[in-house]
Amino acid sequence: MPMPGDGAGPPPFDAGSPPFDADRVERAVREILVAIGEDPDRDGLKETP
């Protein structure tokens, strides 16, 4: 049975962690796609979560 902190699941919640910034993550992923030569606006990637 997995125990907290044994690496078998997500890390425990840390109230001191900065909030998740979805817009910043989206911009970063878009930049990575461009950097590897991908078109982030192509049909196969549009609306991909």
Model pLDDT for residues 1-46, shown as the tens digit of each residue: 566 556 677 666 677 777 889 899 999 999 999 999 999 999 888 7
Whether residue 49 is predicted with pLDDT greater than 80 in this model: the reply is no
* pLDDT on residue 28: 96
12-47 exposure pattern, b = at least 16 Cβ within 10 A, e = fewer: eeeeeeeeeeeeeeeeeeeeebeeeeeeeeeeeeee
* pLDDT on residue 15: 72
State the pTM of this model. Answer: 0.56
* pLDDT on residue 6: 66
Nearest-angstrom CA–CA distance, 36 and 43 = 17
